[in-house]
Amino acid sequence: MMETNFDNYPSKYAEIGKSGQQAESILYQAPRNAVQGFRVLVETITKEVLHLDGYGSYTERQVDRLRLMQLHPTDYPVKVVQAMDRVRQLGNKASHNGKQDINTNQALEIDQDAYLVSEWFLSTYTQANEKEYIQPQNNSQNIEELKKQLAEQQEKIQRLQQLNSQNKVAPTVEEKVARRKKSLQFANAHPLSEKETRKIIDEQLRAAGWEADTKNIRYSNTKPEKGKNKAIAEWEFPNGDRADYALFIGKEAVGIIEAKKYEDDVYSSLDQAVDYSKEFVFTDKVAEPVRNYEVYKPYNVPFVFSTNGRPYLKQLEQKSGIWFWDARNPKHPRRPLESWFTPDDLKLKLSAPLEKDSDKALNDDDIYPELANRDYQKEAIRAVENAIGEGKTRILLAMATGTGKTRMAISLMYRLIKNKRARRILYLVDRQSLANQTANSLKDNKIGSQPVSSIYNVKEFTDKMPASTTRIQISTVQGMVQRLFNSTDTADKPTPGMYDFIIVDEAHRGYSEDREMSDDELRFYDQSEYISQYRRVVDYFDATAIGMTATPAIQTVQIFGEPVYAYSYQQAVIDGYLMDHNAPYIIKTKLSENGIQFKKDQEVNSYNYDLNEQEKFRMPEDINFDVEAFNKKVITEPFNRAVCQELVRRLDPNDPSHGKTLIFAATDEHADMVVRLLKEEFEKIGNPVGDNAVMKITGQDRHRDIHIKQFKNEQYPNIVVTVDLLTTGIDVPSICNIVFLRRVKSRILYEQMLGRATRKYDGIDAFNIFDPIGQYDSMKKYTDMNSAINEKTVQRSVEECYSLALDAQSEDSLKEYRKQLVAKLQRKIQRLDDKQAAELKNAVQEDDLSAWARSLESATQSKLKSESGKIRTISEFRLKPRTALISNQEDEVVKVERGYGNNNEKPADYLEEFTNFIKSSRNEIPAIDVLINRPSDLSLQDLRQIQSVLSAHGFKENDLQSAWKTANKVDIAANIISFIRQAALGTPLESDTAVVDRAMSKVYGMADWTTVQMKWLKRIEEQLKQNHILGPNASTAFNDIEVFKEHGGYKQMKRVFGKQTDEIVSLINQNLYA
């Protein structure tokens, strides 16, 4: 029998091997039929590979299958996929174009491609030995008989594949890791030649809209042409040097490309392209310079690139991707791109002024839109613009929830576009509800009399691609990930130069899991998936990325760097822009105090979350659940009813003046229970509510977007119960009550939950916290809502951690992934009961599972590989079903306490501690001494400093008022100054109103004021009520306080009051705190 290149197929795939053998046997006599046979062979392998890798369907076209493979170059080597595509193209011509001449040399080339594909398949997916390529022999058998055999074999393979396609495959992580390793080994053993590399680069350039063909479009035979976008190979310079490619838009030279071998360093090669940019000459008039190219001398061509055709990989950063530098803007750092700029991308860049000119225009522009003209918002914008001017491409803003980040971002976008620093901006969010909210903000906020959306063309998240006139596009990160990395439809794929800036709202997202998303969205909140894809979106574009968040996580800082500007919740409260919260209502019931006890052998009901049904369960031992387990491990309707009975005493959904209420439940089922109990209890106290007054809004709600809009804009719902859906990014200013019925351990999630109620609401000076499960107390030591703690929680499976550890390319990466693997194993081991532990110990032959897991903390990759069986066994071990016991033990509220200060103290103790603090600090903090001894010299800056110090120690004006009322049975709305003087000097407390009225009555009696003067005096009175003081003198007061400063300050007051201006402020200071 004649030897062929397809004799080494194992029995499982023998029929595939036969098709290759038969195609090769007729190569010389019937090259067309041979090419058709190779086409069937390669298509069959492609289908089987995607089937084995879990992609399933055989119904796609071969071109679609290859596009899918191109999206995963680490699994499917570029050289192999290229070979598959060459077989496809010539095979299609052989099958569908009878006039196409197929000669023996072409068939021999396709034979080599089919051999390469075959060997990769066998080495990656089977245990077959690799076979050296041999020149096919000329078969002397009857050609017609051979053709018939080939046709019959092809039909047989198709029938077998149809049967096989019905068996779905779900490869394990371990199988995927093993295949990837084999595939990479094959790729390294079969490196691309320089010729093959240039073919890859040609294809990449053609895909980006350039005419490129190293063999046929060369300096020797091609010239730039108007109306054409060409990548001309081997462009020659007068000194004999040659650039691998020169890019032309029409006749204008816009780019230089240095192409390297597939394994060569790309980053350092960019220097050669930079030199070629300097050497480029235009004397022969064949090529023309771009407009105003003299401005960026000594560079004659603005855009320089280097590449080796390899897809960009972070761990091989300098040896992969397309490295790019913009010679027009020297501060623009070199950076890798995942794909090529299109001609339109470069036209867009060339249409922009130099960055230094736009940066100067921004710096000189001191006009800020009214929609975001608070001092801190302008400071935030200036900080971002300064960072841009310094050449930073990753910028982070940390601003408390409710301080107007979106309006600030709109103002920033307006200024960037207005000053031509940006031509198009991508506004990236993580939820459709936030996308809608942003779109509405662009419509509602105006510059002058025009909405921002009418000044600049805005595309919303439902629009996949921007128009040429689009200046702002809104997109979800999920939608962008799909279009960039998971879609075979290249028409809807954004290009790297499409946006100049990306503004990432809620940039901390991905840090904590969010269970209440749609199934498609949910997968992006797996830490290993979401953050990596999130970063890929940001890194894909040649754009400056600006992240905005109230709660930076460590991952956020890793992507964007340390914040260039921060405005904390605490400072916003002190400045009067956000609501503080009252001392929390700590609701204590009998069950929360004593726990829920179950006795050994007691038969109880258990709820199975997975099956959504109740089961009978006999307790194996005595067990006690404390309040942290309520609503999760044990379902207790009596506890929830007792809490709801207390809540209905303090909430009234029919009275909008009390604001709205947001309740955080533990599960979707728990949320349903709370809604039902609240409605029942409101009915019992004679305050029945409409069906839509109390509502659940979770991921299970099909109309959640409509209900969120109703919650924000309409009277009902007034009370909403959620789990995670409304924890971040949803702005409902009327939320004035937060109820915790679930315990969370994430500081970021907790602060975002509280942030739902921090926005100011008319008639409410502070929001309320109702806490029956100890949430507030458990977080006290971790948060003051003004700083980010370095935390890291990676939501990966055991298999993913193991795979990453085995694939780690550096010691640091191995150490990190190994640590995550051990932590995951320990977490699972700790959840085992005695019976499960015994079963697992026997399965892995380890007496101490925890000690074995600890031993992996310093394991090498070889050691980890040897432990794969044990790791896999533990990973796949199924823990007992997720259940919760059901308790019907009666419950009732025993007391409701207010916890004051950092230690949740009783009112009298809190006031005593405050007095002691003031007395001990008056000599250490100069501003407090001024307030006590010389209150008329106190400045607003002094008062802000005092408030900041007191707040840091747990002393807030609202809490002091509440504690005083509770301890002394007297309600006095005194301000912080009065409390400090009472503590230090023993002076009687006075309400803020009484203090201001006393001072202003003296002023009103000074003269017979005109109507205009009375108007200004009323403004002074309002400022006194808001800030408690004006300042040590008239000049300071009227030049520092914003409402006076923006109307001309001290000079304007002198025009209004003349020489009495200084006397007014002096008289006020004498009588405020006499």
**Closest by CA position to 980, among listed 957, 952, 1005:** 957
Which residues neighbour 194 within 8 Å (Cβ) at sequence distance 6 or greater? 261
pLDDT mean over 978-1003: 90
CA–CA distance, 721 with 663 (Å, rounded to integer): 5
| pLDDT tens for each residue of 79-123 | 899 899 999 999 888 887 766 788 999 999 999 999 999 999 999
For 787, phi then psi, to 5°, come to -150, 155
CATH code that applies to domain 373-574: 3.40.50.300
By residue count, the chain amounts to 1074
Instruction: Report, in angstroms and rounded to the nearest whole number, the Rg of the chain calculated over CA atoms.
Output: 36
Q: Which residues pair with 470 in a beta bridge?
A: 457
Q: Say if residues 305 and 273 touch (Cβ distance below 8 Å).
A: yes
CATH topology of domain 585-596+641-779: Rossmann fold (3.40.50)
CA–CA distance, 873 with 172 (Å, rounded to integer): 12
User: What pLDDT score was predicted for residue 839?
Assistant: 81
How is residue 960 written in tokens? 């002091």
User: What pLDDT score was predicted for residue 636?
Assistant: 81
pLDDT mean over 734-745: 88
**Closest by CA position to 659, among listed 766, 752, 772, 771:** 766
Residue 614 binned pLDDT confidence (cut-offs 50, 70, 90): low
Q: Is the pLDDT of residue 528 over 60?
A: no
The architecture of the domain spanning 194-350 is Alpha-Beta Complex (3.90)
Which three-class secondary structure string do you get for 509-526? Answer: CCCCCCCCCCHHHHHHHC
Residue 271 binned pLDDT confidence (cut-offs 50, 70, 90): very high
Which residues neighbour 953 within 8 Å (Cβ) at sequence distance 6 or greater? 901, 902, 917
Residue 513 binned pLDDT confidence (cut-offs 50, 70, 90): very low
CA–CA distance, 471 with 420 (Å, rounded to integer): 11
pLDDT mean over 227-241: 93
Residue 479 binned pLDDT confidence (cut-offs 50, 70, 90): confident
Q: Say if residues 904 and 777 touch (Cβ distance below 8 Å).
A: yes
CA–CA distance, 434 with 506 (Å, rounded to integer): 9
pLDDT mean over 959-968: 87
| Edge-to-edge strand ranges of the sheet holding 322-326 | 211-212, 229-236, 242-249, 252-259, 303-307, 322-326, 335-337
Start-end ranges of CATH 3.40.50.300 in the chain?
373-574, 585-596+641-779
Q: What angle do the packed helices 834-844 and 868-876 form, to 10 degrees?
A: 150
Half-sphere exposure of 758 (CA within 13 A, CB side): 28
| pLDDT tens for each residue of 190-212 | 888 888 889 889 989 998 999 99
**Closest by CA position to 115, among listed 249, 225, 4:** 4
Mean pLDDT, the chain, whole residue set: 84
Start-end ranges of CATH 3.90.1570.30 in the chain?
194-350
Which residues neighbour 658 within 8 Å (Cβ) at sequence distance 6 or greater? 651, 652, 736, 737, 764
pLDDT mean over 628-654: 84
Q: Say if residues 19 and 150 touch (Cβ distance below 8 Å).
A: yes
For residues 725-757, one letter each, b for 16 or more C-beta atoms within 10 angstroms of the residue's C-beta and e for the rest, the string is bbbbbbbbbbbbbbbbbbbbebbbbbbbbbbbb
What share of residues in the chain are helix, strand, coil (percent, to 5)?
50, 15, 35
Write the burial class of residue 96 (CB in 10 Å: 0-12 exposed, 13-18 middle, 19+ buried): exposed
